[in-house]
Structure 1
Amino acid sequence: MAHIKPFCAIRPNPKIELQFCSKPFQLYSKKELKSTLENCPNSFLQIIKSNINKTTKNSNKKRFEDVKTAYQNFKDKNLLQKDQDKGFYIQEIKINAHKFTGITAVASVEDYKNGRIKRHENTLESRETIFKNYLKTTRFNAEPVLLTYKNTAALSEVIKDVKKYPETSVLKFSENETLKLWQVTNKELIDQIIKGFENTDALYIADGHHRSASSVMLSEEEPKKAETNYFMAFLIPEHELIVQEYNRVVTDLNGLSVSSFLKKIKLNFDSTPHKTYAGSKKGKGFCMYLDGQFYSLSLRKEFVKLQAPLHQLDSYVLQEHILKPILGIENVRTDSRLQYAHKSDQMKWIKKQIDNKTYAVGFGLNPVLIDQLKSIADNSLVMPPKSTYIYPKLRSGTTIYEF
């Protein structure tokens, strides 16, 4: 049984909403970020720019206070407006050929603490504390945690019913990206949505582990403030998520020659050479590119633990059988020899990096399946860092939750 609630969102004035709603700032190139900050005065990025530009010596506290001031300035100018009625917000996000439809609501901190909201990643306490202090100072949440759930006919039907009505807002960011939003304030529809999630066994964090954990920390500091017992979330059926892989490149072979490295690989893996990446993908396991040659690597049966959820993940197999014991990378979070790659032409980029000697070896992994992700979370296990790259990437500022 999952508990969600409607809320009165702060939303951008229709005159600025197309400019205001921004991609997560990490997705902007330096050039794009500079251009937006210089030419788009009504972008949400203007509110958080002191938190983006950390070249100054301002403390976190000062940066967070600057964000709060900038946010209040937008409100004072009536550029941000609070909805008068509590509601849910259905969003349909179209990116290229993909459509993602979900519900923006506030999710329960208590559900997180008792395991109804399940997680599959470790969080760093230092980052949790920074985010918690950010929330405590600014008192708003503009980027929802992405939660996923097993779809039900009831929830699917109510979303269809809502989408029969005219949209509250339609934002066409580009030829390839459109966002449609429906504000749901009808009591009957609200009750149907609440009941639909009460009949859902669990919610799974797809993206936003640190954001949700920091909200829990704030709630524990301020237990008497009802609003901090919830955090903003975008809930999307699991079949609509796109889960892509993060690939890996390593700068050196830990002092080994290519032949010695391959010999060590073959102790635990069946290794098949291929002329092309496409050929390696037809083999079992995952891909390796080394010294001008593609390989498919498949862990030998005697080393596979079929009943262990983590052992089904390429990222875990790579970490435990190659990165740590052969390449000497004990801490996959902090070792500078290991880099993560997610690009539209990933293996082409990796091949180029290996060929020009920027890196010594690259690994192309298979995407994590949603059932694998859920199995990890259900068993209270943790994936290796950067095991998934998940879509949709939600824009900030479409709806804002104050507390």
Structure 2
Amino acid sequence: MFALVDAVAFYASAEKVFDPSIRKRPVVVLTNNDGCVCAVSPEARKLNVPKFEPYFKLRKFLEQHNVVVRSSNYELYADLSTRMMNVIGRFCDNQYIYSIDESFLQFTGFKSIIDDWHAYGQDIRLAVWRETKLPVGVGFGTTPTLSKAANHAAKKLEGYNGVAVIDDDYSANEILAKMEVTDVWGIGGRLGKKLNMMRIYTALDLKKQNPKYMRKQFSVVVERTIEELNGQVCISWDDVKQPKQEIFSTRSFGERVTDVHDLKSSLSTHCSIVGKKLREQSSMTKQLIIFAHSSPHEDNFYKRSFLYEFPVPTSDSRVLANAVNEVLPQLFHNGVRFYKAGIGAIELVSEQFMQADLFTPTLNNSKLMNSLDSINKVFGKGTIRLASEQQTKSWEMKRDFLSPRYTTRWSDIPKIQC
């Protein structure tokens, strides 16, 4: 048996954990630079607040309905996610964290122990609520895809009260008949339109198709999805997460950047982020993409990018930042109002099998980088950083509605008065 446990409107629910005054109020969370609505609480959903709509278009509507608006508090969300996953992991013998708010569970030796999966699902929900104050939905299924479908029913279909179980053909058909085909895990909107043209409108319609025929029409992914809907396990997660083949760090600015030092500060910060991610997966990069551009909606759109090749692969943040210094004079242009900048490490190699150059001395200092990472892990992100990062903060992300970072900053720890 498999299960999928995920939080209900995770970002919005996380905002309510340490602020009981807004627990029954509608809440929306905005994307980077307070651009669009990315999360909507159940209360706000009843007001038909659309997701991914620009905030400036919805501002008056949200004010009229007394909706709480919050900027994305990534530090808080990451910490609450870790706590939630730790609680969920106690209820199974194999856990796979699929995203920041979703976790697959596998119960290899539990079938003979658990008599009532519905009751067990409620136990999971209650434990998560008691220890994190996050509402979750739980879906059980005989395959990962069916557990995902059951989770959809638990959260969005009437009569399931947060827990749904698919353990036979009857329970599967009952739920799949109420789901659109695009609600099936792995079936996107574009594929859904093609399936609709074949008169496949619901998940149950998809289940009834011939897997081999659908593979010829589409792909092996569709074939496996149909087999999973019929109770045959085809999809599994890797025991070891594969390292990324490319690592990028990009961000739009909170305010337009017109100063070369501000642009350098931003790119240096991206170098630190990419360097840290490279070291975390024991990789090095041979090439670095460095780019910056103005807004495509402004006149005289400006965009420049450079490909910098290292003589020796590196994961040293200082070496990455030196590459930025070399291309910055060609990247920056007076009069341009820069809207976004970033870097990308491509052509990655394993640190273990990195081939050194006999005639080119390396500038990498792995001991120094290990010390930097260790200190920042103990004392907090940014305790030690590149000097070029500290020149200015005017380019940082705009977060005018940011809530306190209750669990990651000493100054923001909740205070209780008795």
**TM tier, shorter chain?**
under 0.3
Which structure has more RCO (C-alpha within 8 Å, separation ≥ 6)?
1
Higher-strand-fraction structure = 1
Which protein is bigger by CA-based radius of gyration? Answer: 2
Q: With structure 2 as the length reference, what TM-score do the two structures score?
A: 0.25
Q: With structure 1 as the length reference, what TM-score do the two structures score?
A: 0.26
